[in-house]
Amino acid sequence: MSCNAKKDPNGTWRIQYRWTDWTGAKKKSQKRGFKTKKEAEEWYAHFLLQQSSDPTMTLADFWEIYKADMEKRLRKTTMKQKEYVMNDKVLPYFGSTPINEITAPMIRKWQGEMMEKGFKPAYLKTIHNQLSAILNYAVNFYDLCSNPCRKAGSMGKSRADERPYWTLEEFQRFSDAIMDKQDSWVAFQILFWTGMRLGGDRKDSLEPDLHAGIVKRCL
């Protein structure tokens, strides 16, 4: 591969380069709009790493390869979620680290910081899965020896904890026990039979008309 950086009349730099793609075909191209010659040459250096499929490239560089492939295979909404998690939760920690130097202890330290932020278990699992997915991709297609996420272990839970619900018999026993507390009895009747959450009951003012079978909500 070869390259040549030149300054355009508008003051920006462009870089012309040749490379051989994965099919063996020789290509020639150029990229414009760099502010300095150094910036143009640095872009070309990153381009070479991506073309070489070298597991010593940084996670930030490898993410660009992974993203370019996945954009052709996944829905836009799925890719947006991946991009948000990678840019906000993963790359700030591992972006400048070569993928073959990311270790299980590093991942466990990162997991600890994520858990300290108070995220829900299901979201912690999502964050971990994004990092694990890109490293699995490196193992399967770019000769990374192993995925350190497996040795580190996961974090969070794939499904949120199930909430306990009263059976009808249990609710009726509770209802009988608070019959003498009219306001509470009415409130729990509304919550149970309408399926409303307690937060919604607190947020709005509810005016029950039990004789008419109507619940009025005053916002």
Looking at per-residue confidence, does 142 or 216 come out higher? 142
Residue partners of 129: CB distance under 8 A and separation at least 6: none
Per-residue pLDDT, averaged over 107-124, amounts to: 94
CB–CB of 15/48 below 8 Å? no
H or E element, residue 32: strand 26-34
What does the alpha-carbon distance between residue 100 and residue 135 come to, in Å, rounded to a whole number? 9
Higher pLDDT among residues 57 and 131, named by residue: 131
pLDDT over 70 at 182, yes or no: yes
For residue 138, the model assigns a pLDDT of 92
Q: Is 0.85 topped by the overall pTM?
A: no
CA-closest candidate to residue 58, choices 147, 128, 138, 153 = 138
Name residue, tokens 């502010």: 35
Domain limits, the chain: 2-52, 59-152, 168-218
pLDDT bucket at 111, cuts 50 / 70 / 90: very high
Give me the pLDDT at residue 176, please: 78
For the domain 59-152, what is the CATH superfamily, name and number?
A: Tyrosine recombinase, N-terminal domain (1.10.150.130)
CA–CA distance, 211 with 209 (Å, rounded to integer): 6
Q: Identify the band that residue 126 occupies on the pLDDT scale cut at 50, 70 and 90.
A: very high
Q: Which residue shows structure tokens 């839970």?
A: 157
